[in-house]
Amino acid sequence: MAARPRPNQSSDWHVPCPLCSEMARGHNHSLRVLVGGALLLAATSATATATDSTRVLLRSRAGLSSSRRARLLAHYGARIRGHIVGLDTSVVDIPQPALRSALAALRRSGAFISVEEDHVAHATALPTDPLAYAQWGAIQINTFESWTLTRGSIASVVAVLDTGVDAAHPDLLGHVLNGYDLVNDDTDASDDNGHGTAMAGIIAAQPDNGIGVTGIAPDSPVLPVKVLGADGSGSYSAITQGIAYAVDHGARVINMSLGGSDASPALQSAVDYARAHDVVVVAAAGNYGTADPLYPAACDGVVAVSASDARDRRAVFSNYGADVSLAAPGVGILTTVPGGGYAGVTGTSPAAAVASGAFALLLGANPSMPATAAVARMTANAVDIATAGWDPYAGFGRVDAYAALVPGTVIRHAPDLTPPTADILNPAKDSLVSGLVPVDVSASDNASVVRVDLEVDRHFYASATVAPFGFAWDTAGFTAGSHRLRATAYDAAGNHTTSTEIRVDVTPGIGLLVKRGMVRFGRTVGSDYLSVSGIFQLPAGLDLDPANDAVTIDVSGPQGMVFSMPVAAATLAPDRSGAMRVTGLAAIPTNGGVSVRIAKARSGSGYTFTVSGRGLNLTNVAATMNLQIAIGSNLLSQAVLFRDVHGRLMLP
């Protein structure tokens, strides 16, 4: 469970928010990804629904708004068929006549990591769960080694007493039994909160189906018993009745990732009823980091589970005390969410579900094993992660599913202490960018990278959870000038590394950024002075060739041209520093001299420039002007906003 409320006088039960370490205090919000990605799939076929369109997959860069994406797609008449939420991928149909141009334009837009036509895949014998690599908890308790012996069975049904279960989730479909809703007193045990579906996925999500995650005991059916409402709370009477219902309908394991602060004889009686019928009862220890008892975890005969992290340490939020029996992974546990998606959940709620899955494996391999023997086997073969023997933080130790199945066999996974690597590949350092900027990050780890965060000027911008890690940085909301980018990569163990920070320049124009400027008005006609300087960058692969490229510099205002300076090819001459210079008369107005200096930037692929004119008659000058530099067939431009400083126009 993710956290419990402070003790109160009511007999209400509270389920923690499945993602934060805060108990639901009457709040009700949707699941959000903490670790790993989320796959939500509207079912899609490999062929378009109409003969005149083609199905296309577009994976968006992190940070791309849905409205911006919609505008891009609408331009080509694309029809959105569905979304793969955790991968930020849209499934769209594009009309055939526009297909080729649309694909090319969408690839150039910088909004998408990949743009591809849909294809057809066929079954393979290899594991196909794309998020299984990040399921560190399942790996740590030796789930997949256990599968050489059992994956659970119909004989080890797990009852999930919670907010209900989304039985239509693609990773649970066909493995959720008909249950009961004790909140509304009907047979519809669907999930209106999300917590129950998350617990069910940890226990029984299906492997090798090409989507999402895998559960600990995928062959053990889930029996949903809804005892908590949409707000995550429920009565003791519903919980008590739910335990009896689960026992009477064939459960061998009962998972209760919930808790309240009040002891209850009725609740204890229900637990005793389950034990008398050979049912293992598992409950979450709580999330306040205290020794305060939580019920049913503190009931006699219940396996109370605390949470551990990827380094086999007690999670700081986890309760402890005399009632704790076992510890289990409970930080960033990937699982199912209603509607077909996936999320990472944290708390003793997922820890209890992990332990319930391990019990389902043990009882699946040993259907006649008494519940007391199963608990004894699991506790005797747990991994000590605190002091030797029992302790109040991890109980008898962290769950080891394989060791419980084969006593005396120990498989140890060394804690992951190796941080990932992170480097920003694109944009390049000191580059000039504008509009929607693709940001690509290379991140790798000895195990897996589960998240990469992008920061702009040391402020969080967006997260990407699936490799390759790409972002769409919309610079429209950023001021012109220098900005800093850095990325931080995280692995499942919580190790992280931050990339080297790079500086880039943002322009509201096209390939051009004016950094400084001044207009000084003379006392006589024809004595005005103007100077602008900044940087420009040609399209990738192009360089300024002074021997063959003509250059034209135009400055205009709202009333028309301020001046124009044409520079013929082979006119720019290098000086001692290597900069290219030319001085001449402005074409408009005809009086006044203009000098131009262009130099290769010290870093990056751009150029610095300075344009200054003396003896001009700046009759059309204004606070807002436009600078345009034409180099060959490339047109670079930017609107420049000056400020009035004691009769002069200045930038900045």
Q: State the catalytic residues.
A: 162, 195, 349
3-state secondary structure 394-433: CECCECCHHHHHCCCCCCCCCCCCCCCEEEEEECCCCCEE
Residue 372 CB coordination number (10 Å): 12
Convert 262-282 to b/e letters by CB count within 10 Å (16 or more is b): bebeebbebbebbbeebbbbb
Separation CA 532–CA 514 (nearest Å) = 7
Per the CB < 8 A criterion, the answer to whether 619 and 588 are in contact is: no
Q: In what order do the strands lie in the sheet with 551-557?
A: 560-567, 551-557, 624-631, 634-641
Specify whether the CB–CB gap between 113 and 61 falls below 8 A. yes
Non-local CB neighbours of 6 within 8 Å, separated by 6+ positions: 261
**Where are the alpha helices (H) located in 96-164, listed in sequence order?**
99-108, 136-140, 143-146
Contact 327, 307 (CB under 8 A): yes
**How far is residue 282's CA from residue 360's CA, in Å, rounded to a whole number?**
11
> In degrees to the nearest 10, what's the CA dihedral of 212, 213, 217, 223?
-50
Taking alpha carbons only, the member of 88, 80, 97, 69 closest to residue 44 is: 80
Q: Kindly compute the dihedral angle of the four CA atoms of residues 532, 535, 538, 539, in this order, to the nearest 10 degrees.
A: -130
Whether the Cβ atoms of residue 367 and residue 153 lie closer than 8 Å to each other = yes
Query: SS3 for 179?
Result: coil
Contacts of residue 574, Cβ cutoff 8 Å, sequence gap at least 6: 546, 580, 581
* CB-CB contact of 640 with 530 (8 Å): no
* Phi, psi at 641, each rounded to 5°: -110, 115
**DSSP string spanning 206-233?**
PSSSSSS---SSTTSPEEEEE-S-TTSE
Burial 16-36 (b: 16+ CB within 10 A, else e): bbbbbbbbbbeeeeebebbbb
Q: Using alpha carbons, select from 508, 509, 536, 507 the residue that is nearest to residue 599.
A: 536
- 283 pairs with which residues across the strands? 256, 304
- Residue labelled with tokens 């955790």: 86
Contact 253, 277 (CB under 8 A): no
Give the C-alpha separation, 18 to 24, whole Å. 9
* Ramachandran sector of residue 593 (left: φ over 0; alpha: ψ -120 to 50; beta: rest): beta
Residue 275 backbone phi and psi in degrees, to 5: -65, -35
| Cβ atoms < 10 Å from Cβ of 541 | 6
N residues, the chain:
652
